[in-house]
Amino acid sequence: MTIAATEPATPVWPRSIVLRALAGALALGVFFIDAFTPLQSAVAVLYVLVILIAAKVSETDLLVASAASVALAALAYVYMHGVDQFGSSTIRLAVSFSAIGIGTVLSLQNLRATNRLREQARLLDLSHDMIFVRDAAGIIRFWNRGAENRYGWPAEAAIGKVADELLATEYPTKRADIERQLLRTSRWEGVLRQRTNAGATIVVESRWALQRGGPGQPFRVLETHRDVTEREASHRALAQSERRYRRMFDANRVGLLQEDWSALRTELRRLTSTGEADLLRYIDANPDFVERAKALVRITDVNAAFLEITGADSAVSLPGSLDGILGEADQTFVGSLAAFCRGDRFFEGETEIRASNGRRVPVIFGLTFPAVEEGNDGEVLAFVVDATERNEAQNALLAAQAELAHAARVATLGELTASITHEVNQPLAAIVTNGEAALRWLRRAEPDLEEVSTALVRAIEEGKRASAVVRRIRAFLTKGPIRRDVLDVVELVQDAILLVERELTRSGATVHLRLDPKLPRVLGDRVQLQQVLVNLAVNATHAMAGAPDGRLWVGAATDGAGHVAVTVADSGPGIPEANLGKLFDPFFTTKEDGMGMGLAICRSTIEAHGGRLSVESPAGEGARFIFTIPVAAQGPE
């Protein structure tokens, strides 16, 4: 049975009028034959045809036609036979009445069933889904409005076609298997690809229901399709981006942890609602809260790189919360908690985590907190980098730097051997001379004890001087961490100059000190600061070598910003502008036998003290090195 769901192309009224006219004419024809011809048969049975035609128009027409047929048949009978005659004609009338009655009832039933189906078809038209009915051969028998709209074929064009061919349907599995399942369960659901009249391929969610006809015979299949092309595409895009991010997470060489801070957020909100507005103050007052908070942070996911850092075989063997991951010595969690409370988006720091073998691994980490408006406001992502190697390299670098500084000090000392030898030899020679003099005064017939005493006092002074020189050299050679002693800058400069004086005077240069005796004391390492001064002075000496009247100025003054600035200037040729930027680079040298390490070490020493070392070289004025050292106490003592 075909139920066209679409409106007929031509208006309804001409067809109904034609049918009514036909029925009327037929009724009159039958009446005429029945009433005016001598035919002795149940002509009135033909009124059934009138009823069938009227049934094509409407139920009312059917009933009117039925009543009119009965009336006309009765009228013809009365006209032909009168009312008082009873015979075979009366039986024929009864047969005619029965035929008209049965015809009316059946037509009425058929009309109502058709109307019901039409109603249902109209309901199917209301659906946005594409619905069609096909038979066992796949031939389309019904095609709803949704199918017309989406597939693009009107019902007239689709009905009668083989559905699979019209729609070029692609099935997820073998068509025969689907058919078998349909026959077994009367249902099938799946996702198909079909082609529209416009040539577009669409993805549809398809549901089939089988309606059986005769015993065991498939009769009709109702196929309902929903266009999910866009949903499918966005799902695919989402799944692809999920996969991409998963790959970024899993394959990242940085350790990644996904943490759930929502229980902690709830706890923090509870504290806030109980009046603990200032959470940071609360944390201060309740240090045990930090431990509790760590236990509230759940680890929800980790990547392979993080497992490698911790040495764990799988995520299952890791602790479930942060308190099991962070080392006891961790000091950073309070900071991240504070950042979380403040609503910061990022926090970074360095801490230690516990590896599975009990080892503590130094790590650098970053946390990204979600914005509250993002919804999942407890999802925190942690980036973790193993800092073991970096720390080892840093330590090795520091050790190498210390070694180098030591070597440089020794090298500097090598250059100063002559002056040191002189420094020590001079007092030794004086001791010997004074000792001999004392002996001579003693061996006189009348020993002059006054002179003896004077000579011995001088010998002792010279002895002290020699041992001071030795002490200074030993201190100069000692390597070790920076001391933070309170130092007098004037003494510092004088001691250093003493070490290079000989070298300076030998090259014909003079030293000029401009030291304010009321300078505040500074904080630093005497030996290392002396090394800086010696290096700068030796460099100045080298620069002025060969030029008569060389001058070295050493000055010290406060800079007004909590530092004492020490200036070492010379009257040498100065530094070409092109070299100024490279001067402090390690191994930058313009000397044939230079190492280029002196100034680099000086700068790192001064910076380690919290000061700065800079250079100026005004044209024609030689070089001027200035370094600053932090003041130890307020004002001079």
Binding site for ligand ADP (CB under 6 A): 539-540, 543, 570, 572, 575, 583, 588-591, 594-600, 623
**Closest distance to ligand ADP from the beta carbon of 588 (Å):** 5
CB of residue 317 to ligand ADP, shortest distance in Å: 54
Least gap, CB of 576 to ligand ADP (angstroms): 9
Q: Enumerate residues 6+ apart whose C-beta is below 8 A from 237.
A: none
Contact yes or no for 465/382 (Cβ under 8 A): no
Tell me whether residue 523 or residue 600 sits nearer to ligand ADP (CB atom).
600
CB of 530 to ligand ADP, least distance (A): 16
Question: Between 155 and 509, whose beta carbon lies closer to ligand ADP?
Answer: 509
- At 614, is the secondary structure helix, strand, or coil? strand
Residue nearest to ligand ADP (CB): 594
- Give yes or no for a contact between 471 and 508, defined as CB atoms under 8 angstroms apart: no
Total Cβ atoms within 10 A of residue 236: 11
Return the H-helix or E-strand segment holding 239. Answer: helix 229-251
Rounded Cα distance between 565 and 584, Å, is 18
Q: How far is the CB of 373 from ligand ADP (least distance, A)?
A: 57
Q: Give, in order, the Cα–Cα distances in Å from 158 to each of 121, 141, 238.
A: 16, 8, 36
Tokens found for residue 273: 């609602």
- Packing angle, helices 287-296 and 333-342, rounded to 10: 80
CB 633 → ligand ADP: shortest distance, Å? 32
368 or 604: CB nearest ligand ADP: 604
Alpha carbon separation from 277 to 81, 268, 373, 616 (Å, rounded): 112, 10, 21, 55
Select 325 or 538, whichever has its Cβ closest to ligand ADP.
Answer: 538
Determine the residue type at 63: L
Q: How many residues does the chain have?
A: 637
Which one, 125 or 585, has the nearer CB to ligand ADP? 585
Q: Please say whether the beta carbons of 204 and 227 come within 8 A.
A: yes
Nearest to ligand ADP of 141, 624 (CB atom): 624
When the beta carbons of 259 and 570 are compared against ligand ADP, the nearer one is 570
User: Least distance from C-beta 526 to ligand ADP, angstroms?
Assistant: 21
Minimal distance in Å, beta carbon 527 to ligand ADP?
Answer: 18
Annotate 146-162 with b (16+ C-beta within 10 A) or e (fewer): bbbebbebebeebbebe
Across 538-570, b (16+ Cβ under 10 Å) vs e yields: bbbbbbbeeeeebbbbbbbebeeeebbbbbbbb
Q: State the minimum distance, in angstroms, from the CB of residue 414 to ligand ADP.
A: 12
Closest to ligand ADP by CB, 441 vs 627, is 627
Cα–Cα–Cα angle for 372, 376, 378, rounded to 5 degrees: 80
Q: Is the CB of 293 or the CB of 600 nearer to ligand ADP?
A: 600
Minimum CB–partner distance for residue 444 and ligand ADP (Å): 55
524 or 598, CB closer to ligand ADP? Answer: 598
**CB-wise, 121 or 532, nearer to ligand ADP?**
532
Is residue 570 helix, strand or coil? strand
Instruction: Give whichever of 184 and 591 is closer to ligand ADP, judged by the CB atom.
Output: 591
Q: Smallest gap, in angstroms, from Cβ of residue 493 to ligand ADP?
A: 16
Q: Where are the beta strands (DSSP E) in 467-623?
A: 485-487, 510-515, 522-524, 551-558, 563-570, 613-616
Q: Are strands 551-558 and 522-524 parallel, antiparallel or unpaired?
A: unpaired
Cβ at position 421, least distance to ligand ADP in Å: 21
Please work out, in degrees rounded to the nearest 5, the angle formed at the alpha carbon of residue 419 by the alpha carbons of 621 and 590.
45
